[in-house]
Amino acid sequence: MNALTIEGSQSTPSIFADWDLGRLIMRGDSYPENSFEFFSPVIDWIERYLTESAAPFGLELRLVYMNTSSVKAMMDIFDLLEDAHGRGRQVSVNWYYDPRNERVLDLADEFREDCSFPFEIAADEQ
């Protein structure tokens, strides 16, 4: 299964992964009841992509609110990307925030701190 689509809900982001484009998109709020369960297919997909494909990988985020365990899951994902980057893989993150909510900018910046791969934070003009 190379496609991954998870419908969003009030407490979970919508997730869409495209193997051929090497892209995974997350959008919305994230405070699932069980973050581990929710994020494990996402983490699995990314791990598998980074192992089986040699093409570049881009993660696109439009996340607003995250609970603590979701923050942890995101840190795990960034660690995966950092490791892959260390092995010479081309990985990147693009984090889009709502310009009406500048706080997300600071939060994304905090996430970016330990990442040495390309990590762009930009206002979402959509």
User: How many helical (H) and strand (E) elements, i.e. helices and strands, does the chain have?
Assistant: 3, 6
Which of 101, 73, 93 lies closest to 13, judged by CA?
73
Structural tokens at position 78: 């960034």
- Using the rule CB under 8 A, is 16 a contact of another protein? no
Least separation in angstroms between CB 28 and another protein: 14
Does residue 66 belong to the site contacting another protein (CB under 8 A)?
yes
Q: Which region among 36-44, 48-56, 70-78, 86-94 touches another protein (by CB under 8 A)?
A: 70-78
One of 114, 116, 118, 120 touching another protein (CB under 8 A): 114
Is residue 50 helix, strand or coil?
helix
- Count Cα atoms within 13 angstroms, Cβ side, for 11: 8
Residue ranges in contact with another protein by CB under 8 A: 65-68, 71-72, 75, 103, 106-107, 110-111, 113-114
